[in-house]
Copies of this chain bind each other. A is one copy, B any other.
């Protein structure tokens, strides 16, 4: 088995690119990742693309060869889709293939464009990640789904809207320091609490925005890194994936996300580390309550304890487990098919010292990425470590 190294990363700014087709967005991020690795497009053995709604939003299916072409290669290219976890599953596939020696150099990433759609069309496109027959046809969209989960959480535990407002405030504060973030401005707890309600108990600032953007990484085997003299100090040492029923109604609990727990278990086992070893995390905060659910399922907090983490300052820069230093989906933005790859890029920034985690002298050495699809019917977890 080879060790899987991150040899290069690339991002477009996340935000509004309504007139830029996905192929061009991926060309920018993918090209930047190849350049950052010190490689040429012809060095890429295979392309792994996350994209969720290109067929609906751009009348463009079969996007993987097009994305590869935009980077300058006709290498084998495949699209992976698990809703908002699309780039997570793409990255997982690349990790497996590099690890096993099936490919030496993988270009993995994702892209999405949706801000050219009007709000009803974008909401409908996103809702297709829920169960069309048993949820969407009954009127449920994702703000509603996560509102049900937040309600259940508030009902079961000692937590309230103010706790969640602190999650939004913390992620906006982080986003303010990220030049690639969609929202580079701080908000206050009162602003969050006073914002229009979108699905009770979730207000506007509890939700991530519609976003366009792309993210990409070059992954290479340790052998390829050595042979080609690449600069690749960070390794992906663990990868896990979990599944669950698509519809909330079929779950035993609305406050637990077993798909995340299963993914974390496998990723930690592969990496040989546990939650206590993790210095920094990027987790899937499509809604503020999702950050709390993730932190609990990942093992950082006991059930009911994570909603208050931001309020207590534990998940901010310099805290016990700095979470979403990029700004998270909340402030960095959520170009659906790109998000899982963007999380990995942002963790590499922290682990290589480009972004400060406030971890003190030794810096952050172990990072965790958590990418979820739908109401966590799919979840992917990766563990990254500084190894060189």
* Cross-chain contact A81 with B81 (CB below 8 angstroms): yes
Smallest CB gap from A259: residue in B: B74
Question: Would you call A303 an interface residue if the criterion is a C-beta within 8 Å of the partner chain's C-beta atoms?
Answer: no
Q: Which of B64, B66, B245 contacts A65 (CB 8 A)?
A: B245
Chain B residues contacting A76 (CB-CB under 8 Å) are 241-243, 262-263, 378
Q: Which of B61, B96, B244, B263 contacts A53 (CB 8 A)?
A: B61
Question: Would you call A226 an interface residue if the criterion is a C-beta within 8 Å of the partner chain's C-beta atoms?
Answer: no
Question: Would you call A133 an interface residue if the criterion is a C-beta within 8 Å of the partner chain's C-beta atoms?
Answer: yes
* Cross-chain contact B78 with A241 (CB below 8 angstroms): yes
Question: Would you call A313 an interface residue if the criterion is a C-beta within 8 Å of the partner chain's C-beta atoms?
Answer: no
Question: Would you call A152 an interface residue if the criterion is a C-beta within 8 Å of the partner chain's C-beta atoms?
Answer: no
Chain B residues contacting A374 (CB-CB under 8 Å) are 62, 65
Smallest CB gap from A266: residue in B: B76
Question: Would you call A188 an interface residue if the criterion is a C-beta within 8 Å of the partner chain's C-beta atoms?
Answer: no
Chain A interface size, as a band, is 35 or more
Question: Would you call A93 an interface residue if the criterion is a C-beta within 8 Å of the partner chain's C-beta atoms?
Answer: yes
Which residues of A, 59-83, contact B by the 8 Å Cβ criterion?
59-62, 64-66, 68-69, 73-83
Q: Looking at the complex, which of A97-105, A193-201, A217-225, A351-359 is the stretch in contact with chain B? A: A97-105
Chain B residues contacting A231 (CB-CB under 8 Å) are none
**Given A128-B59, A132-B60, A136-B59 in contact, is the A96-B100 Cβ separation under 8 Å?**
yes
Smallest CB gap from A86: residue in B: B79
Q: Which of B83, B100, B124 contacts A100 (CB 8 A)?
A: B100
**Given A58-B132, A83-B62 in contact, is the A245-B373 Cβ separation under 8 Å?**
no
* Cross-chain contact A128 with B60 (CB below 8 angstroms): yes
A133 to B263 alpha-carbon distance, docked (Å): 38
* Cross-chain contact A373 with B62 (CB below 8 angstroms): yes
Q: Which of B60, B65, B124, B129 contacts A62 (CB 8 A)?
A: B129
A 108-151 to B, binary, CB cutoff 8 A, 1 in contact else 0 = 00000000000000001100111111001000000000000000
* Cross-chain contact B82 with A80 (CB below 8 angstroms): no
Of A61, A65, A99, most B-chain CB atoms within 10 Å = A61
Smallest CB gap from A380: residue in B: B76
Chain B residues contacting A77 (CB-CB under 8 Å) are 82, 243, 378
Query: What are 17 inter-chain pairs, A to B, with CB distance below 8 A?
Result: A59-B128, A61-B129, A62-B83, A64-B243, A65-B244, A65-B246, A66-B246, A69-B245, A74-B244, A78-B80, A78-B82, A78-B378, A80-B80, A80-B81, A81-B81, A96-B100, A100-B102
- List the interface of chain A (C-beta within 8 A of B): 21, 46-47, 52-53, 55-56, 58-62, 64-66, 68-69, 73-83, 89, 93, 96-97, 99-100, 102, 124-125, 128-133, 136, 241-246, 250, 258-259, 262-263, 373-374, 377-378
User: Can you list the 9 inter-chain pairs with the closest CB atoms, starting with the nearest?
Assistant: A100-B100, A76-B241, A62-B83, A61-B128, A62-B129, A65-B377, A79-B81, A60-B132, A74-B243
Given pairs A65-B243, A65-B246, A69-B245, 19 additional interface contacts (CB within 8 A):
A55-B128, A56-B56, A56-B61, A59-B132, A62-B81, A62-B82, A62-B83, A62-B129, A62-B130, A62-B246, A62-B377, A65-B378, A66-B131, A66-B246, A69-B250, A74-B243, A74-B245, A78-B378, A80-B81
